[in-house]
Amino acid sequence: MKYLGNKGRLSEFLEINMNLKNRAGQTALDLFAGTGSVSLLFKNNSLNTVSNDRLSFSSHMVRSILLDKPPNKIVDLNTATRDGFITNNYSEKIGVNIFKNDIAEHIDGARTYLEINRDKFTKQEFSYYLSQIIEAADFRANIMGSYESYYKGGWRKQALKKWAVEDFALVDSHGTTTHKVYNQDVLEFLTETEDSYDFIYFDPPYNTRQYSSVFHVLETISEYDNPEVSGKIRKNINLKDKKSNFSSKIKCYQEFEEMFGESSKKTDQVFLSYSNEGILDIPQIQSLLLKFYKNIDIAEYDYRRFKTNSRKPNKKNKVKEYLINASK
């Protein structure tokens, strides 16, 4: 999945600088889990993992990839079709060319089947099957990385591929580690949890782009509650409630301060991934951390920004990633 801020390319950098190979058996909290690349990295290094993300589809994706083995295949996820909500809001049928008609009908068919039979599945099984649908839909979406617009130059090749759900490549821990996944606001989670952690990893939004807007179609597929939509891209009007204060220039400073304060009650060590393009600069973040932690170390990594709308290399397209380690 083409997910903003995905840390897949930085796995080795994170593994080394968080000393994961020497943390087997510890418990880590991945607070902004996204699609789970860092949670999976923790699992691969034999850590017990607690993952949280505010978006529904992200939580289902994380729960899926942390399974040891895939559940039984369901033929209907590949064959069922229906003229439903996705077809009538996000397909060529109404001129919103995010999905071809047949793909949209497969999404509706598979999603309806899953909802009707929901009580037959465990929570983990339901998340896995739903994530298969979301992954297959995202791969065939006629977009350039964001669902805030669609490709105007016709149909991209991947959007023309036939519908198919596929299993995820899972890592079997043979029951040696535990994995819990939550779907909450970050501060609500930290306030409500009574657990403590060996360390907490933060990967908050860097800029003003709202993930609930960028991935609104995937969130609608996940919740599949026939929401009221508006605008040319048929955005779910209820997603305004999922806007993140970390993406607000006005609110993010206070949000970081509250997050660090609550986290200091749960752990003696935190790691923060951030960017030189972030709303806050590194000195601001350091000053906030020093209110709750004594020691700070910073590792840096230079890499090229992922851009879905550019085929040409750009020398200016460089990003500096920071991993800030704060401890008591």
Q: Give the pLDDT confidence score for residue 209 in this predicted structure.
A: 82
Q: Are residues 8 and 139 in the same domain?
A: no
- What single letter denotes the amino acid at residue 196? S
Measured CA distances, 132 to 12, 118, 166, 179 (Å): 27, 15, 6, 20
Question: Does 65 reside within a domain?
Answer: no
List all residues 6 or more positions away from 225 whose beta carbon is below 8 Å from its beta carbon: none
Residue range(s) defining the domain that contains residue 184: 1-59+176-204+248-328
Q: How many residues does the chain have?
A: 328
- Residues 252, 311: one domain? yes
Written as six digits, the tokens of 321 are 């990633």
The verdict on 44 and 116 lying in the same domain is no
193 conformational bin, left if phi > 0, alpha if psi -120 to 50, beta if neither = beta
Does 289 share its domain with 165? no
Give yes or no: residues 34 and 144 share one domain: no
Asked whether residue 191 falls in the same domain as residue 105, the answer is no
Beta bridge partners of 273: 323
What is the model's pLDDT at position 317?
63
The C-alpha atoms of residue 59 and residue 282 are separated, in whole angstroms, by 29
Q: Are residues 113 and 239 in the same domain?
A: yes
Give the pLDDT of residue 6. Answer: 56
Residues 260, 317, single domain; the answer is yes
Q: Which helix (H) or strand (E) holds 261?
A: helix 252-263
* Statement to judge: residues 258 and 314 lie in one domain: yes
Domain count, the chain: 2
Residue-wise DSSP of 193-217: -----SEEEE----SS--HHHHTHH
pTM, rounded to two decimals: 0.90
Q: What is the pLDDT of residue 246?
A: 87
Residues 75 and 164 reside in one and the same domain:
yes
Return the pLDDT at 210: 83
64, part of any domain: no
Q: What is the edge-to-edge ordering of all strands in the sheet holding 179-182?
A: 179-182, 48-52, 27-30, 199-202, 269-275, 318-327, 295-304
Q: Are residues 29 and 87 in the same domain?
A: no
**Per-residue pLDDT of the chain in tens (328 residues, 90 and over written 9):** 555 555 667 889 999 999 999 999 999 999 999 989 999 999 999 999 999 999 999 999 999 999 999 999 999 999 999 999 999 999 999 999 999 999 999 999 999 999 999 999 999 999 999 999 999 999 999 998 899 999 998 999 999 999 999 999 998 998 899 999 999 999 999 999 999 999 999 999 888 888 888 999 999 999 999 999 999 999 998 887 788 888 889 999 999 999 999 999 999 999 999 988 889 999 999 999 999 999 999 999 887 655 544 444 445 567 888 999 999 9
List the beta bridge partners of residue 271.
201, 325
Q: What pLDDT does residue 211 have?
A: 85
- My answer on whether 159 and 93 are in the same domain is yes
